[in-house]
Structure 1
Amino acid sequence: MMNLLEQLKQVTTVVADSGDVDSIKALNPVDATTNPSLILQAAKLPQYQHLINDAIARFADKDNATIDDICDQLIVNFGCEILKHVPGRISSEVDARLSFDTQASIEKGRKLISLYQEAGIKKERVLIKLAATWQGIKAAEQLEKEGIACNLTLLFSMTQAIACAEANITLISPFVGRILDWYKKTEGRDFEGSDDPGVQSVTAIYDYFKQNNYNTVVMGASFRNTSEIIELAGCDLLTISPALLSELQATTGKLTIKLSPENPSTNPPSKQAPLDQKTFDWQLNENAMATEKLSEGIRNFAKDQLILEELVRSLSK
């Protein structure tokens, strides 16, 4: 009998959520995603020191070069290395400190794509990853019009998902595990299987998108256990850490398809009117979990970006 990972790959595009190239090589995913925290973890490993050294060396003789330039190059260096081992796409994240600045996010997305193209990577193999704030969604909407595909992350609510779909974003990454974390802490209890509020959120978004024929695809993210992954089998894509991919690979049994465009497991509401900013802000504000987890996620990614910059700065001296 095939293991659970092999079965999952037959119904869902499996994506590795890691900056660790060695782990990705071992698990043969289609795509890969990174974020500042994952790049920081990988950058501390000796086998990737050459990627940092290369990024620093590229700007050694440029008087106007900044740490920001070196870090952007480092993100692209990791992306290029990962793309040697996946047939599909890499998601590379815009600096979280730009999450509320539409124009700066657009410019950063263009810059990252330009760096990939200089490295010989076509833009079709890259997803620019932005936080699903109103400003991030508007930045992605413009980038999409320029032919730059985007991945909207730190997504915790139907409101964020609908705004992305209306903006014709390529892909969204609704978080599962972080939603579970919030409800466990708030309600003081655990959740299992289909009762997991993170699973329920992604399921509802998936069904809503399919019922209303949106082009935006759904990639469940941020998993705490394999049960959450199993409950979302059939989702367009799932991005999974190497540890959980290995656990699925080591487990046999029958995998049941839970999500399907033909058989929605929820009763999604009728298509809503396009959101304006004031409605988006109000609906997000009314969702305490989404508001808190979005803000926390941006803060934590920004913090890790600062630590990464300090690491690069120390090595540049």
Structure 2
Amino acid sequence: MPTVNLLEYLDSRTQVDIDTYSAEGCLTSASKEIGPFQDATGNQLEVQAEIVKPSRSAVLKRSLALAATIHPQFANLNLEELAVEVVLQMPNVKCTPQVYIKKRDVNLRTPGSHLICQIVDPDFDTSRLVTKIPTTWEGMQAARQLKQSGIKTLATTLFSMEQAVLAGEAGCISISPFVHELKTETYKGYKDSNPILSVCVQAQQFYRQNSLPTRVKACVTLSIDELIMLAGVDALTIAPAVLKELAAIERPQEELDSMSLFAINAKATEAVSYPSYIDSESQYRVEFAASEGGKAQFKTAQAIALFCDAQTAVELYVKSQLEDYSYTPITL
């Protein structure tokens, strides 16, 4: 029975994105020919782990000096908050030539990151930037307004179809369903008893049946088999180590095709009807609270809390570095 490489198989059916905030990770991946990748993303937990590495000290020092230089332009941020934003943009700019052959999107955390990217690299194409927003009622109303201003958004921390419908109505260009609770990535041995592989399938079906341009970019998978099951989803965000693992494995294609939840020759299924939520706050809150027996709301709140804790930790670390050293403003 003929076999195929797992990474090549995924790439033939799904947009494969790299999930890292490490410029070195991007470069290593590209040099080992497991790229190029369409988009890139990352999160505060990855930044928290990355920023303390000795290999990042040079980038950190330059980021702090740059933050001190441009701080007068960002009066609404304290210096450590701005310094963290600058640190976050360095990999986005550095990875561009090696990874984004097709020059697609880089996912960011705040609309202000557009200006910071331009400061870090005046030639950077900011039309490629996408702002990541938690899929809460308030977050999606913000996404709706940002779309009107020409800013692209991605709905993150998403665990239910109610959130997927709201994000599509808000005009998000993509959503990131977390297949497992974020806690599974931060607490060794923690199990998620209710992974949402089916939400990825249902959301993609809903968008296509309703002619919505929003794309499904699944993340927080925990096994190679789950990635194969999601072959056919619009996009998958995958960490460099897992990409390398995929590139080293071959399996029979017939087996892989049978595992995918997005059957290659699947017939169109009956449309799934959902109410419009974008102007119905009370209905959305009631139905989201009840989704998955309350688990979707719990998982969303948990993920946001974990990201907030990581962000606070990064800001405290950056603040300690600012206090330990004196940075001379640099010439832009």
Range of TM-score over shorter length: 0.7 to 0.9
Cα drift, residue 60 of structure 1: 3.2
Match of 1:14 in 2: 16
Q: In the aligned structure 2, how far is the partner of 1:76 from the partner of 1:291?
A: 30
- Backbone CA RMSD of aligned residues: 2.5
Match of 1:176 in 2: 179
* TM, length-normalised to structure 2: 0.80
**One-letter amino acid of the structure 1 residue matched with residue 93 of structure 2:** C
Cα drift, residue 132 of structure 1: 0.6
User: Does the residue aligned with 1:60 lie in a helix, a strand or coil?
Assistant: helix
Task: Indicate conservation of the 8 Å contact 1:36/1:93, yes or no.
Answer: no
52-61 or 277-286, larger mean C-alpha shift: 52-61
Match for 1:160 among 135, 160, 163? 163
Map 1:264-275 onto structure 2 (within 5 A): 267-275=270-278
Map 1:75-114 onto structure 2 (within 5 A): 75-87=88-100, 88-94=104-110, 109=111, 111-114=112-115
Q: In the aligned structure 2, how far is the partner of 1:266 from the partner of 1:229?
A: 23
Match of 2:212 in 1: 214
Overall identity of the aligned pairs, in %:
25
Match of 2:230 in 1: 232
State yes or no: 1:298 paired with 2:298. Answer: no
**One-letter amino acid of the structure 2 residue matched with residue 12 of structure 1:** T
Give ranges in structure 2 of 5+ residues lacking alignment.
185-189, 324-332
Match of 2:287 in 1: 283
Map 1:120-199 onto structure 2 (within 5 A): 120-178=123-181, 197-199=195-197
State yes or no: 1:32 paired with 2:25. Answer: no
Match of 2:198 in 1: 200
Match of 2:118 in 1: 117
State yes or no: 1:54 paired with 2:56. Answer: no
Q: In the aligned structure 1, how far is the partner of 2:199 from the partner of 2:135?
A: 15
Alignment coverage as a number of residue pairs: 292
Q: Compared with structure 1, are the counterparts of its residues 270 and 21 closer, same or farther at alpha carbon in structure 2 (3 Å cutoff)?
A: same
Match of 1:252 in 2: 250
Q: Compared with structure 1, are the counterparts of its residues 225 and 268 closer, same or farther at alpha carbon in structure 2 (3 Å cutoff)?
A: farther
**One-letter amino acid of the structure 2 residue matched with residue 300 of structure 1:** L
**One-letter amino acid of the structure 2 residue matched with residue 145 of structure 1:** Q
From the CA coordinates, give the structure whose radius of gyration is larger. Answer: 2
State yes or no: 1:71 paired with 2:84. Answer: yes
Q: In the aligned structure 1, how far is the partner of 2:20 from the partner of 2:191?
A: 29
User: Does the residue aligned with 1:270 lie in a helix, a strand or coil?
Assistant: coil
152-161 or 265-274, larger mean C-alpha shift: 265-274
Q: Compared with structure 1, are the counterparts of its residues 153 and 261 closer, same or farther at alpha carbon in structure 2 (3 Å cutoff)?
A: farther
Task: Indicate conservation of the 8 Å contact 1:17/1:33, yes or no.
Answer: yes
Give ranges in structure 1 of 5+ residues lacking alignment.
95-108, 182-187
Match of 1:184 in 2: none
* TM, length-normalised to structure 1: 0.84
25-34 or 124-133, larger mean C-alpha shift: 25-34
Q: In the aligned structure 2, how far is the partner of 1:57 from the partner of 1:179?
A: 33
